Amino acid sequence: MRRESLLFTPRKIGTMTVKNRLVRSATYEGMADDNGLVDNRYVALYENLARGGIGTIIAGFAFVKENGIAAKNQTGIHTDGCVPMLKKSVEAVHRVNENVKFVLQIAHCGRQVEPDIVEKKKFKPLAPSPIADKSVGILPKEMTIRDIEDVTQAFVRSAERAKRAGFDGVQLHGAHGYLLSEFLSPYMNRRTDDYGGSSENRVRVVIEIFEGIKKLCGEDWPVFIKLQVDDFVKEKPSLKPPESVEIARRIAEAGFDAIEISGGIYESGEELDPWYLKISTTDEEAYFLPYARKIKEVIGETLLILVGGIRSFEVAERIVRDGYADFISMSRPFIMEPDLPQKWLNKLSGKSTCTSCNRCDTEMGNKGLRCLLLEN
């Protein structure tokens, strides 16, 4: 067994003790109805993950307001009606293993929303600035100060619902071109008020949401963030180091319990976004590691979660051992092998069999999140 490995040692995130350093990164499940209410497939998905030896599960990405939905069958946390089935999923996870921590990622899509959703739901997409999204053809409405205040409160209220459902914490989705990362990026945020311009201003709404959640849900209840480090677009200006490193420093200074770094937006495409890479060798793994090295130097004691193409035990352990990240986060490997942590612990595997084909995302259809290779 590999119990001596740092990957299988406990670590505290705020006041929460996590049993190992392996995190299931949030992803879209596609297991909800038109109102965002999840079904028993969602419960079974996370119950199965809990059996596989994971330390922390981050469920994704639950919209906080009706005009914040990005795709059909997306999980909602925008009304009290969403709470009962989410509570059922939390209870199922904790029943399987009370030491598995279950965190809910909460999000607002901003301008990145499927046009047919906009037509069906009859809302005007919001964004920091009225800049069209080239990938979906959406021209958003520039948010007023009142809009920003409303969305801030929607995040805070949604976090309280997540706590009521029994989740061990929340993660703000501040990456991948959704609303909070739109505020962070000079490519999508051209405001001239207190929420635009300098990096200090562009991070303001994220910190106000964080402070609101801590005030309502308690200082001890963990709040993570998935943080954009690179937009991966050709146009300038855009978000990338060194500015994204400075934003990470500000996020840490604000008191976030953990930062998971990521990048890319809908407009990035296969040419620029490393998410599309077909990982076949260890040298191709951990494509956000260069960013982690820079960010770890400026965030002090704030914990860093590293995601991005990690597939092998060897690479994951080395990253944690070398101090470039405190936790290793994966999503696609756990879709194919929810028991991968147990396999690694028991030396039954050294590398995930996931090929990064991305069919779990691109060919999901109406059946929800699953590995399509296992169906062939």
Catalytic residue numbers read 178
Please count the other Cβ atoms lying within 10 Å of the Cβ belonging to residue 153.
15
Find the DSSP H helices in the chain: 40-51, 83-96, 115-121, 145-164, 179-184, 199-202, 204-217, 243-254, 269-272, 289-296, 313-321, 332-336, 340-345, 359-362
| H or E, element range at 13 | strand 11-13
Do residues 185 and 238 touch, judged by C-beta distance below 8 A?
yes
For residue 181, give both structure tokens.
Answer: 């990362």
Do residues 58 and 106 touch, judged by C-beta distance below 8 A?
no
Do residues 184 and 228 touch, judged by C-beta distance below 8 A?
yes
Q: How many CA atoms lie within 13 A of 7 on its CB side?
A: 25
The whole-angstrom separation of Cα 284 and Cα 217 is 40
The whole-angstrom separation of Cα 153 and Cα 157 is 6
**Sign of dihedral through CA atoms 307, 296, 55, 53?**
positive
DSSP string computed for 298-360: TSTTSEEEE-SS--BHHHHHHHHHTTS-SEEEESHHHHH-TTHHHHHHTTS-SB-------HH
Residues linked to residue 104 through DSSP beta bridges, in sequence order? 59, 170
Q: Give 147: exposed, middle or buried? Use CB within 10 Å, 0-12, 13-18, 19+.
A: middle
Determine the longest span between alpha carbons in the chain, in angstroms. 57
